[in-house]
Chain A
C-alpha cells in the first residue's frame, strides 16, 4: 500500500475522477458564466463574441434604471449580519448549554435539529401559516395580549417584510450550527475542562476563556457556512415572498433577470458577483482566523499556559 501511495502517478489516477467531476460541474460553469457575463445575451441575441460588451453588465446591474440588485445585495448583507450576530451566538449559547450536560441532552439535540432536516418548502409554508393574518399563530398570540399587528401582514408590511422573511431561515439553521458547535465542544479533552475547573473557571469564564477559543476552527466553519449561505439565499425567500419588491436577495434578483426578463448576460454578471462575494468573504474569514506564525495551535498555547503560567489563570480564580 505504501509503495502504491508513494507513486505520484498512482495518486493521480485516484484523484482524477474527482478532479474531472469538480472541473466539469464547478469550474467549467463558473468560467462559462464569467464569459456570458461579458455578453449582451438576451432572447434576441446569441451567446457569441459578436455581442461582447465588456463590463457593461456589471455596471448596469448596479446603476441601470430600475435595477433592484443593489437593494438585493444590501438585503443579503443585512441577513449576513443577522446570521453572524444573532443566529450564531444563539446557536453557541444552546451548544454550550447542552454540552454542559443538561437533562435529556439527546432529546434537545434532536429537537433543535428537526427544522434542519425539514425541506425549505415545508418550513416556508409553515411560516406562511404562522404569519397569516386571520389564523396565524403569531397574530393570534399578539391579539390575545393586545399588541397591534403590522398593517398589511408580516410578509407585506414595508417595515416587517424583510425581517419576516429572514426569521424562518435564521430559525431553521440554528439547530445546524448548534450541532456543529456542540460536537466541537464535546471533543474538547476532559483534561482541559478539568484543569480549568480545578483552576476555578466556571460558567461564562469557562465558556469565554476555555471552550470558545478551543472550538475556534469550528466557529470558523460555522461563520463560513453562515456567510456563504446568506449570500446565496434563495429557496426560503422564493417560497415566502417570491422575492417580490422589498424582500429581494441577489439570487432571486438574478433568477428574475435571467428567466423572467431574459437578460442572460446581466443575470450571469449577477451570478458572478455572488460567486465573487462568497470567495471574498471566505478569504477574509481565513485571514481573520489564521493561526499565528509560531505554528502552535490555540490548544497547545492554552495547555502550555495552564501548565506553566499562574498569571494566565482566569481573573478571580485561586490556586487550590
Chain B
C-alpha cells in the first residue's frame, strides 16, 4: 500500500512539474511596426488571424503591434530609422526603399536563420528584391501586382465594353464621360497610387525591358525612349480627356476610394490587395490593364514580391524576432490569399480553401498565371530622391502641369 501511495505521489509530482518543464521558454515581448490600421484595409483581418495563430504557436512571445496608416508608416519608419529605433519586426517595401534602410544598417540579414527547407517553400524569385550582396533582408508575405478593376455593373448599364486595348480604354472613358460617370480615379495627394497608374502605362507602351532598364538605372537605361514618352503622353491624354475626378490631384487614396467603393466610378488601377475589399461584390471584376497594339507587353505586370517583413538590426531578441518575421510572412501569405487580400508567395496547399477564395482573387490569379514578367513599381525600385522625383513628376502629369515629353526629360535627372 505504501508503495502504491509513493508511486502515486511521484506521479502527481511529475504531473505538477511537467507544465513547468513545457514553459521553459523565457517570456519575450516584441514590437511589430504594421500598416493596416484602418478597418477597411483588406489585409487587416488576415494579419490579425496570423497574429492569433502566432500567439497560439509561440505563447511565450508577446507581440505589441504599432498600427499605422500605410503612408504614415513610411514617414514614421524613416524617422525611426534615423534614430535606430525601428520596432523588432516591421512591414517595409522591397527594392530601393529597402536598400536605403539596409545602407543605414537598420536591418538584420536573415541568412543565418533561414534553412534550405524554409527557402524551398518560397516561390521562385521571391527574394530578388530583398537581397543585396547575397544577404536576405526580409521575407515577402504577398506576390503583388497591379491590375485594372472594373465596375462591371456600370459598364453594362452604360453599354460600354470592358477595354482590352488602349483605344478601347479611351472609348470607354469617352462613353462614361458622356454618361456623366467618372471613368477612373486615383489618390493623387498620396502620390504612390498615381505612380501605380503611371507605371502600368509606361510598361504597356515601352515594354518590360526598356522600363526595367530605366527604373533600375541599368546600363543603357533612359527615360528619353519613344515608348516611355508615348506612355507618359498617354497618361497626359487621359488627364486631358477628363478621365479623373476634377480634384484628383488633391485626393488621398482613402478619399479617392470612397466613390469607387460606392459604385460611382468605372475603373481603378490598384494593387491585388484591393481584391480583398471587393471580395463578394459581384459587380467588380479584375482585368489586365489594356494592351497597346504593336508592343509586346500585354501580359507584363508591375509588382512581384514587393512588400515584406524585416527584423531590426539591433533587436534584443533576434531569434524570436526571426520566428515572428518568418511565421507572419508565411502565414499571412496563406491567410491573405484565402481572404482575397493578396496572392501567395509561399507554397501551400489551398485545396481545402477553394470554396473560400473570392472570384475576384481567382481572376487575378488567372491573370498572373499568364504573366510574362513582373517589374517592381518605379517608386519602389528607385532609391531616395530618384523615387521622390518619379512620384513628383507623375503627380505633375496628373495635375496637367507637364507634358509626357517634359516628364521624361525631367526623369533623366536620375541618371546624372
Contacts and interface: CB of A to CB of B under 8 A. Distances in A.
Interface of A: 42-44, 65-66, 128, 131-134, 151-156, 158, 161, 241-242, 244-245, 255-264
Given A244-B392, A259-B82, A44 B246 contact: no
A169 B101 CA distance: 34
A42 B383 CA distance: 12
Contacts of B392: 244-245
Contacts of B101: 43
A153 B250 contact: yes
Contact of A156 (B78, B104, B249, B410): B249
B247 A156 contact: yes
Interface in B363-386: 383-385
Contact of B188 (A66, A131, A156, A256): A156
Given A158-B401, A261-B388, A153 B246 contact: yes
Nearest to A266: B385
Contacts of A261: 384-385, 388
Contacts, number: 86
Contacts of A260: 78, 384-385, 387-388
Given A43-B101, A263-B385, 10 more contacts: A43-B384, A66-B413, A152-B249, A156-B248, A161-B250, A242-B190, A245-B392, A257-B385, A260-B78, A261-B385
B389 A43 contact: no
B247 A133 contact: yes
Contacts of A43: 99-101, 103-104, 384
A225 B188 CA distance: 33
B271 interface: no
Contact of B399 (A66, A133, A156): A156
Contacts of A44: 103
Contacts of B401: 158
6 contacts: A156-B248, A241-B250, A244-B392, A245-B392, A245-B396, A259-B78
A262 B82 CA distance: 9
The 8 A-B residue pairs with the shortest CB-CB distance in the complex, in nearest-first order = A153-B247, A261-B385, A156-B249, A43-B103, A259-B78, A155-B250, A156-B250, A133-B247
B204 interface: no
Contacts of B385: 257, 260-263
Contacts of B40: none
Interface in B89-108: 99-101, 103-104
A118 B273 CA distance: 35
Contacts of B383: 262
B246 A151 contact: yes
Contacts of A65: 413, 416
Contacts of A264: 82
B329 interface: no
Interface string B383-409: 111011100100110011100000000
A258 B247 CA distance: 29
B219 interface: no
Interface in B215-273: 245-250, 255, 259
Nearest to A164: B250
B349 interface: no
A258 B385 CA distance: 10
A155 B250 CA distance: 6
Contact of B189 (A133, A244, A258): A244
Given A155-B247, A244-B392, A245-B392, A262 B384 contact: yes
A264 B81 CA distance: 12
